Every structure is written in structure tokens, then in C-alpha cells.
Amino acid sequence: MMARARRTRTWALRALACGTLLATAALGLPVQQATAAPPDPAVPLPQLLSRLQDLYQQAEVATETYDQAKEQLTQHRSQAKLLSQQLADERIALADARDRAAQLAQQQYKNGAVSPYANLLLSDTPQDLFNQSHFLRRAAGSQAEIVAELKNGEVRISALSKESQHSLDSAQQLEQKQHQAKDEIETQLANVEKIVAGLTGTQLSELQRLEQQGIEQAQRDFIDSKQLGASGRAPSTAGNHAIGYAYRQLGKPYVWGAEGPDSYDCSGLTSQAWASAGLAIPRTSEEQWKQLTHIPLNAMRPGDLVVYFAGATHVAIYIGDGLVIQAPRPGAVVKISPIAANPILGAVRPDPAEASLDGYQPLAAPSGTSAATGATAPTPIG
């Protein structure tokens, strides 16, 4: 019980230092937005906080759509390039087959397409007749092979042309999807900026307090629910590498669509952390949730991924003791957060077949870095 109380107090101190939605929004506020109309004073602050959180969540949904379209677009472009090369090779092979067919026709014309009886009458010796018959049989065989090659080549070219066009059409649709997602992200973030620009310092401080209060309560409820299971579990070897990578990114800015090395979005961080450990996992949080092995929350070990929201639109890497490292949202930095800072959907394990390390020693936050924010010092709002 005392150990648990110490952990709770430790978390509470970290939570109080936690960078907040309003602080990060204010940091990212363009100068030209400073004169935006203030929010309706009749709107209660808790409702306003909920509105801001919804806007950030919508931006994150659009970010995951953008990331997925970008990933698929890269794959389709690569496939289209490969198909284009295959199509060019098939056309060269078909042209070569046509040249050989023309040469064979010319040769047959020169030798004369006459009957075997005429050849017998015109032959000087039986050997001459044999030689001519042998050539005709070979020519007939070559002709059949070339005809088959021409036919198959035309079929392959037709199929490749259709596949190539389909890939190009898909790439065009994905480009459009990516542009739409980009516009959606920018719209939602502009809405946040307009709201924050109209708030007073007192309102910002109160919203910050409300958000911290909500996170603390969510974490207490989660710990009390016993969903977390036993502490002190060890990661796998690869999971330990992934955690080490995530620690080295603390303090780097969140940028939507980014996957390092200077900035990250949420799934950019988790995918690159595991890539650094030698294991490629899907790029987006939605695909990480869909493709990786699901595990109960009470079975989590450090290195596992915690996925958030009903649509699996946010993800963080678990580091143990009810904490995660995440790239939270625009204007913020990669930081250590309470696991329940967002609504938890579930957890996944990238390497379920690997054993946990023996004698594992958890990493400490870098010297001079706040465990909860990833920043060297809190940034004042205003």
C-alpha cells in the first residue's frame, strides 16, 4: 500500500507539471489571430474546454487520415513505377517477337511455300528433300511458338495496362484524400487558435486547471479500477530499444504528418521507435490497432502500445508504472504522460512471441527534463 501511495504521489506531481491543451495552443498562436473575437462569455469554461478538446481530436482524426493516405500513396506510386517498367519490358519483348515473325515469313517466302510432291520432283537427291522437309517442320514449329508468344504478349500487355491505370487512378484519389485531410487539419487548428486568441490570461489559467484536474481524476479512476495489473514487468529486448528511442525524442515538437527525426505525430513516434528496434510496424495508429496483437491492459509490459479513442486515432508507447511517452498534439512536445490522459481503447504488442528481459532496469527521464512534459521548464501562458 505504501509503495502504491508513493507511486500515486509521484504521478500527481508529474500531472501537475503536465503541459496542457491551452498552453500548447497559445504557443502555436499566429500573431494575426491576436485580434480574433473573444468567445461568448455565456459559455461555461468546462464546455469551452470540451469544445477545444473536440477540435484537437478532429484534427488528430484528420492527421491519421492524412498519414494513411500518404503511406498508401507511396505504395501505389512504387507499384505504378514497377508496372510501368514491366509494361515497357513486355512491349520490347512483343516487338522482338514480331520482328522474328517477319523474318520467318520472309525466309519461308524465299524458300517457297510449295507442296512436298513438288519438292520431290524438284529435288536433285533424296537428301535434298530431307533437308527441305526438316527446315519446313522447324519453320512450322517456330511459327507456332512465335504466334503463341505474340498472343500471350498481347494478353500480358493488356492486363498490365489495366493494372497500371488502376494504380495511377488510385494514386490520384489518394492525393485528393490527402489534400482534403490537410485542409481539415488546418481548419480545426485554426478554430482552436481563434478561440484561444480571445481568452484572457485568467480564463487560460482556469482552463489549464480544469484540464489537469480531469487528467488527474481519470488516472486515479484507472488505477483504482485495477485494470493496469502488476507493476515491475520487463519489456522484450526490442521493446527496450523502442523505449530508449522514445526517451531520446523527449522535448521534440509534435508536427502532424511527421515521423522524425526532428518532429513527430503520435503514430510517427511509435512506428519509428519500433523501427529503430528492427521491427517494422504499420505507420498509423488505426493500422497499428488493426494489425498488431491485442493484449489485456493488465498484461501490458513496457514497449507495448496504448491506443486511444473509439476510432484508434491516437497512440502512445507504454513505459511502465502507469506512464506513457506520447507525441500529444500540435503545439506540444514529445512527453511522458499518465496513461489515462486520453480515453483508452486498448493495448497492442508488436512482438508477442518475444520473451521479457531478465534483470530489467527502467530508464530514468533525461537530466533536467520534467517527466510529465518533456520540457526543461514549464512555459507560462499569456
Phi, psi of 302 (to 5 degrees): -55, 140
Q: What is the mean pLDDT of the chain?
A: 75
More confidently predicted of 363 and 12: 363
Q: Is the pLDDT of residue 283 over 90?
A: yes
Residue 280 and residue 245 in contact, taking contact as beta carbons nearer than 8 Å: no
Residue 239 and residue 300 in contact, taking contact as beta carbons nearer than 8 Å: no
Q: Is the pLDDT of residue 205 over 50?
A: yes
pLDDT digits (tens, 9 = 90+) for 75-117: 766 666 776 676 676 677 667 666 665 666 666 556 555 445 4
Q: Is the pLDDT of residue 224 over 80?
A: yes
DSSP for 336-369? EEEGGGS-EEEEEES-TTSPPPSS--PPPPPTT-
Residue 279 and residue 351 in contact, taking contact as beta carbons nearer than 8 Å: yes
**What gap in Å lies between CA 333 and CA 120, rounded to an integer?**
93
Radius of gyration of the chain, Cα coordinates, nearest whole angstrom: 33
- The pLDDT score that the predictor gives to residue 375 is 38
Pick the most confident of 51-60, 85-94, 115-124, 350-359: 350-359
User: Which alpha helices (DSSP H) does the chain contain, by range?
Assistant: 2-16, 21-27, 45-111, 116-122, 126-197, 201-224, 237-248, 266-276, 285-291
pLDDT digits (tens, 9 = 90+) for 229-265: 777 899 999 999 999 999 999 999 999 999 999 999 9
**Look-up of cell digits 494575426:** 32
Residue 359 and residue 325 in contact, taking contact as beta carbons nearer than 8 Å: no
**What gap in Å lies between CA 97 and CA 89, rounded to an integer?**
12
Closest CA to 198 of 51, 348, 334: 51
- The pLDDT score that the predictor gives to residue 32 is 36
Residue 348 and residue 305 in contact, taking contact as beta carbons nearer than 8 Å: yes
**What gap in Å lies between CA 216 and CA 191, rounded to an integer?**
27
- The pLDDT score that the predictor gives to residue 275 is 97
Closest CA to 338 of 49, 3, 10, 6: 10
For residue 349 the three cell numbers come to 504488442
pLDDT digits (tens, 9 = 90+) for 126-161: 555 455 554 445 555 555 666 666 666 666 777 666
Using the CB atoms, write b or e for 137-172: b if 16+ within 10 Å.
eebeebeeebeebbeebeebbeebeeebeebbebbe
- The pLDDT score that the predictor gives to residue 20 is 43
pLDDT band at 177 (very low <50, low <70, confident <90, very high): confident
What does pTM read for this prediction?
Answer: 0.64
SS3 308: strand
Above pLDDT 90, what percent of the chain? 36
